[in-house]
Amino acid sequence: MNAIITLPNGLEAVEVGGVYRVLAKLPPDVHKRAAIPRFAAPMVDPKDWIEIDRRSDFGDNYILDQKSHGSCTGFASAGALMRARVLEGMAFVRLSGAYTYAWINGGRDDGAIISDTLTSLQQHGTCPETECPWDTIYRSEIPASADRSAGRFKILEAYRVDRFDELVSGLLLGFVGVGAVQVGNAFTDLDADGVAGFDRGPGNHAVCFDGVRRLASGEWVVDLPNSWGLEFGRRGRCYITRRHIESVEQDCYLIRAATSDPQDPPPPTRN
């Protein structure tokens, strides 16, 4: 269990791997959230749910690390786009969460709103992490080469969801999730199944979701790759429950389609 501290700037942080990871997901803006279409695909009946394990497909190189900035919204969204691309058959590119955060943080490292990251990824895209590393979080620091690359990596589809069942249905249908969790003193204390401890609160940290698992107890959980490096949880991951999702302010989304990258190699020809 890792203690939560309050930094001099008033933001909360949790120590993981010797680094204080800033918790800076801002409360949702109801008008901006409403502007993102509601997820309207047919729900998958819970009796038809199946397990989806992405841990071997999305290995260590997919685990991003925001380090000491409050850029979790950018990193969660970039992590989701990385996965959405690969699920659509595109080449893996480790994407920059800092680039998106730089577009939406107003020139301050005080966190951001998840819906703003999705809008930015639809309008501006992001770039490879090599062109905009974790600490390049202000627009004045972004190199022109990163802006040129960003057009290659955009989201085409994003939908808001309100319930755990909707999130699971989306994951089963090939979407990737982005949402809020509440990180308190219990969250980093995983149980024997790798499930994060529960903290009550509005949601102070942004994460992505890519898999579904059924525990021996019969409870369904979703797989959460975090943006705190491999030191967190089980090589950067944990599971969370329905209670984790539905107890916070509803700030959860699904993405699927990504723009085609003109620099991807062409698909193999069929004889």
Average pLDDT of the residues in 145-173: 96
Task: Say how many C-beta atoms besides its own lie within 10 A of residue 264's C-beta.
Answer: 13
Per-residue pLDDT, 1: 67
Q: pLDDT category, 268, cuts 50, 70, 90?
A: low
pTM of the model: 0.94
Mean pLDDT of 126-146: 97
Which pLDDT score, from 0 to 100, does residue 262 have?
Answer: 72
The arithmetic mean of pLDDT across residues 170-199, rounded, is 97
Average pLDDT over residues 152-171: 96
The DSSP string of 158-204 is: EEEE-SHHHHHHHHHTT-EEEEEE--STTTT---TT-BPPP--SS--
Q: What is the pLDDT, as a whole number, of residue 265?
A: 62
Is 146's pLDDT higher than 80?
Answer: yes
106-to-100, 102, 116, 174, 237 alpha-carbon distances in Å: 12, 8, 11, 33, 30
Per residue in 29-46, pLDDT (tens digit) is 999 999 999 999 899 999
Residue 260 pLDDT > 90, yes or no? no
Q: What does the pLDDT average to over 188-210?
A: 97
pLDDT for 99-113, tens place per residue? 999 999 999 999 999
In this prediction, residue 68 carries a pLDDT of 96
State how far the Cα of 138 lies from the Cα of 232, in Å rounded to an integer. 26
Amino acid in position 14: V
Look at residue 269 and tell me whether its pLDDT is greater than 60. no
Domains delineated in the chain: 27-255 (3.90.70.10)
Give the tens place of pLDDT for each residue, 204-253. Answer: 999 999 999 999 999 999 999 999 999 999 999 999 999 999 999 989 99
When pLDDT is cut at 50, 70 and 90, the band that residue 90 belongs to is very high
